[in-house]
Structure 1
Amino acid sequence: MNAINTSVSLNASFVRPEYFFITGLTGISYSHYYYIFLFCTYIIAVIGNSAVLLLIAAERSLHSPKYIGVFNLALADFGEANALIPNMMKTFLFDSNYISYNACLANMFFVFFFATMQCSTLVVLAYDRFIAICLPLRYHAIVSNTVMSLVFSAIWAFNAFMVALTVSLINRLSFCKTNVVLSFFCDHGPVFKLSCNDRTINNVMSLLNIGLYLVAPMILIGLSYLGIFLALGKVTTWEGRLKALKTCITHLLLVASLFLPIFCIYIVASTTTLTANIRILSTSLAYAVPPMINPIIYVLNTAEIRDLIRKVFKNRSGST
């Protein structure tokens, strides 16, 4: 397992493995129950996010700036679930832990790309709520379908560039020790830490991405809600405050489901020593669960989507 099949360049000191070995969950009793849970998570995520995407695309009343953000989040969740869970299931069902070098980099790109889109989209949705509550009279002048479309086009392009740059820098590394990746997918950190040459730039990119897609979004979202709460303090009636705050509940639940598990893992990992299996298990949950939860949160907490679903089922039952 530790032996490396290599494709060696003209420079004999540079070693690139043909394959990486993804450890996944090894040595855990009843791990098959966890994979059954992952399979159920995947089915719910795919069906739920597909339904949200189709509903928003088909219903003209949902063609608004807010739902452009919701559409992008559902698309990112759909992509994240498909980039992550099928490979984990393949490892379990077919005992196929090996992944080729190029497939590993492709897997790394798509998992991180859709993860960055989830974080960025929640920031844009926080901005949308901030403008709607703090500057309601100017909302339609500041936030329009065109503006939101341009913002998301820029975000998709920027995130694709950043993730592609991060992944491409793996190609400068030489892997002369082991090809065993202690993770459930081709995770950037566990992969670049296997190299034997200088990996300073890879470490810098890792820290930069943590700052861009974890720390900065939480700060921006926090500042948005600070502004919202200050604006709500000027509302004279409790009914008005609750009505305005109700529009933020869905977004706050999405933020909590995505960021809280990740931050808890970082805090626990920095204060205690986690076994490899516990770290892999907790991290896989943090990645896999939000794409399943997000469409459920939107269906349960968004009146427009609930009414539209009722309308669809009513039309179907009336036609049968």
Structure 2
Amino acid sequence: MLLISNTSSHTLSSLLLAGIPGLDQEGGLWTSIIFCIVYIFAVLGNFSISYIIWAEKSLHGPMYFFLAMLAINDIAFSSSTVPKMLGIFWWSDGRIDVTSCLTQMFFVHFLSMMESGILVAMAYDRYIAICFPLRYMSILTYVVLEKIAASILVRAIVMVVPIPFMVARLHYCGDDVVLHSYCDHMAVVNMACDDKEADSMYGIIVALSIVSGDLLLIGLSYTMILRAVYKMPSKDARKKALGTCVSHICVIIILYTPALFSFIGYRFGQNILPHNVHIFLSNVYILFPAFMNPLIYGVRTKQVRECVLKMVTHNRKTQRPK
């Protein structure tokens, strides 16, 4: 795919990512170091969660199936932008060819929708576990889990596939600099000389439908959960039931809060917050949840903690000299 310039006869074969405009050299260095450390811990943490779930047969259940999906998605999501962003800061390597830019654009938005869909599935899992505990395993069979995973995947593909094709058809003129640290949909669209209304409206409709629809489904799940919890006879039972939801609620807050700030700020708040703040929030939205999710589930989930301790203890025993 080639982006065509209106001001000349040649095709625009590459773009230049600006990183986070407005940062001086020292600020950019410290930002990149922090992002790099967070990224490394995010990858290691999510890989560890995935490995523990795969290796420990006692965790081969519906809840941990979705948790493994979330961990794998977080690795891919953060890896779709951070390595290139670090290259911009450390080696001034912001140049990216158009095909790679459109590919990155697809995966950033695709993995974002996957993340949201997985959180909806996890809310449904908690609803079944608390409202129908005796039928939990019979309802969420492996066939059902596979169908839920497939529906999350198909929804994300169908919604995101039009975006890079719509961007590729636009005509571009003047500067080839993308004022962002990655190929965000609207950051590239704003470079176009054509009418951007269709692209802008499609982006808004997709984002609002996904976020509002998913939050609605999550809200309905937790409404039903709260109704079931308050009908439980003992205080300990209510506390235990709500305790199983705390990790998921924390992850929801961590994901959607920066996502909403980034979306609203980028499209409607250009006169309220500086542009570099919008870009910084976009990076936080991608990286911070990937960093926090393993910590939340590792600390809050008893079964994961026990499996980690079990593996550590086993490794120490095997390493002792005989």
TM-score, normalised to structure 1, is 0.91
Measured after TM superposition, the shift of residue 127 of structure 1 is 0.6
Measured after TM superposition, the shift of residue 16 of structure 1 is 4.9
Q: Which residue of 2 aligns with 1:24?
A: 19
Measured after TM superposition, the shift of residue 8 of structure 1 is 4.9
Q: Which deviates further from its counterpart, 241-250 or 150-159?
A: 150-159
Secondary structure, aligned partner of 2:79:
helix
Q: Which residue of 2 aligns with 1:295?
A: 294
Counterpart of 2:287, as a letter, is A
Secondary structure, aligned partner of 1:274:
coil
Counterpart of 1:281, as a letter, is F
Q: Deviations over 1:12-52 (max 9, x none)?
A: 99975222221112332422111100000111011111111
Measured after TM superposition, the shift of residue 191 of structure 1 is 0.9
Q: Does the CA-based 8 Å contact 1:16-1:174 persist in structure 2?
A: no
Pair 8,80 (structure 1): closer, same or farther in 2 beyond 3 Å: closer
Q: Deviations over 1:160-195 (max 9, x none)?
A: 232222222212111123322221100001111221
Counterpart of 1:155, as a letter, is I
1:66-85 to 2 correspondence within 5 Å?
66-85=63-82
How many residues align? The count is: 314
C-alpha distance in 1 between matches for 2:133 and 2:282: 39
1:1-320 to 2 correspondence within 5 Å?
8=4, 16-29=11-24, 30-266=27-263, 270=268, 273-320=272-319
Measured after TM superposition, the shift of residue 208 of structure 1 is 2.5
Q: Which deviates further from its counterpart, 284-293 or 249-258?
A: 284-293
Counterpart of 1:221, as a letter, is I
Backbone CA RMSD of aligned residues: 2.1
Pair 140,232 (structure 1): closer, same or farther in 2 beyond 3 Å: same
Pair 231,97 (structure 1): closer, same or farther in 2 beyond 3 Å: same
Q: Which deviates further from its counterpart, 21-30 or 119-128?
A: 21-30
Secondary structure, aligned partner of 2:161:
helix
Q: Which runs of 4+ in 1 moved over 6 A?
A: 11-15
C-alpha distance in 2 between matches for 1:7 and 1:255: 37
Measured after TM superposition, the shift of residue 145 of structure 1 is 2.0
Pair 150,7 (structure 1): closer, same or farther in 2 beyond 3 Å: closer
Secondary structure, aligned partner of 1:186:
coil
Q: Deviations over 1:104-152 (max 9, x none)?
A: 1011111222111111100000011111112223322321122112210
Mind listing any 5+ residue stretches in structure 1 that lack a counterpart? 1-5
C-alpha distance in 1 between matches for 2:11 and 2:168: 8
Pair 215,8 (structure 1): closer, same or farther in 2 beyond 3 Å: closer
Q: Deviations over 1:228-274 (max 9, x none)?
A: 11111211221111010001011001101100122234455646521
Pair 236,14 (structure 1): closer, same or farther in 2 beyond 3 Å: farther
